[in-house]
Amino acid sequence: MPQLFLNEKSCETKADPDRVNRAMTKLVKTIVAVAAVDRPGTVLVAREHVKALQLAEGHPIGKWIGTPEAKDLWRRLLLMQTKYPHHDAFPEGETFSDVAYSHDGVPVIGLGAAHLMGGIGVSLPLEPRWDAHRLTLVREELVDDEDGGSVLTEVQVPHATTREHVDAHLPWIREEVEAAQRGDLSAIRSGAELWERCADLFPHLLFLPRVEAQLRELEQYWVHSVCKRLAEMDRAVLLWDPEADLDGPQWASAVTPEHSTRKRDYCEFTDLDGESRYFDTHLRFTPGAGRVHFRFVKATRRAHIAHIGRKLGI
């Protein structure tokens, strides 16, 4: 199950105390609705321990805990696994220091972490801008080129403030649970084994011939991360609604294009039909500088993968 990342900006509103308490009750019921589908896997990630949360200006969580409707909900919230601060949820050794996110021009650390880790952002329903099951963020990523610039891209992150929003994510959540129960990926121990099972495990992904050698020689500590990323990609293609998502699937982790210089120098590969094309779209896997370079083909509803390994050019 994806981790739930609390949007700290939704806790900085000035509002009537009763309204804040009602909003917190609503949010915790939303979190509990996720836990009802996958209790062992539901983790709340926040910038501080849940006992220290400020729900609004001058409104610590203790004011909500003292309300009659909070008694059972507070107990259930405490029983969940909780991580704090946000970067505690990142893979060991990964800081994502070259990436930043904003919403309406304001930095959003929690929502950005949700996008990076393929999680779901959750917010206190105190402002209309958080009333959505998806939010659009602007992602800024530093690029490795002679100019030392950055690339801005719009991304969407799954989001929830109400149980109705959770309903929109239920197919994804349930599939995560079923996959974990099957253990399809956890049993894979080597890159060679992963390659042998790719066609069965990831039917919506097609691999350029050069990728076979890359997977067979994959470092042991990367096997699980690559499995996870490929599974996320395959699921995103499976769930893609071409009418709702005109630009392509909603990838579960951060997906960005290469800078034009690096695209020209490193990202041109011979595709499966023998034509030379750019595969400058990439996502990360960790620890280290692991990258998956691919292109999505709408006509065939498949993602063609050209590179799995270290950052191109290193």
Average pLDDT of the chain to the nearest whole number: 88
Of 43-52, 85-94, 104-113, 250-259, minimum mean pLDDT range: 85-94
For residue 221, pLDDT beyond 90: no
pLDDT mean over 102-120: 92
pLDDT at position 119, please?
A: 86
For residue 145, pLDDT beyond 70: no
Instruction: Let me know: does 22 contact 73? Beta carbons within 8 Å.
Output: no
Report pTM: 0.68
% of the chain with per-residue pLDDT over 70: 92
Binned at pLDDT 50, 70 and 90, residue 70 comes out as: very high
For residue 208, pLDDT beyond 90: yes
d(CA 78, CA 35): 12
More confidently predicted of 96 and 20: 20
d(CA 34, CA 121): 12
For residue 91, pLDDT beyond 70: no
Instruction: Let me know: does 138 contact 154? Beta carbons within 8 Å.
Output: yes
pLDDT mean over 48-56: 93
pLDDT at position 84, please?
A: 84
pLDDT at position 274, please?
A: 96
pLDDT at position 87, please?
A: 79
Q: Give Cβ neighbours of residue 69 (< 8 Å, ≥ 6 apart).
A: 21, 25
Of 26-35, 95-104, 158-167, minimum mean pLDDT range: 95-104
Token pair 């719009």 in the structure block, residue: 154
pLDDT mean over 101-128: 93
Residue 18 is inside which H or E element, if any?
Answer: helix 17-37
For residue 45, pLDDT beyond 60: yes
Token pair of 175, please? Answer: 């599939």
For residue 62, pLDDT beyond 60: yes
For residue 295, pLDDT beyond 80: yes
Helix axes 163-182, 223-239, angle to 10 degrees: 130
pLDDT at position 183, please?
A: 57
Q: Beta strand 302-310 with 43-45: parallel, antiparallel or unpaired? A: unpaired
| Long-range CB pairs of 11-15, under 8 A, 24+ apart, other chains included | 11/53, 11/54, 11/55, 11/56, 11/124, 12/54, 12/56, 12/57, 13/56, 13/57, 13/124, 13/126, 13/127, 14/56, 14/57, 14/58, 15/56, 15/59, 15/126
Helix or strand or coil: residue 219?
A: coil
Instruction: Let me know: does 158 contact 120? Beta carbons within 8 Å.
Output: yes
pLDDT at position 182, please?
A: 61
Residue type for position 102: S
More confidently predicted of 294 and 188: 294
More confidently predicted of 171 and 28: 28
pLDDT mean over 5-33: 96
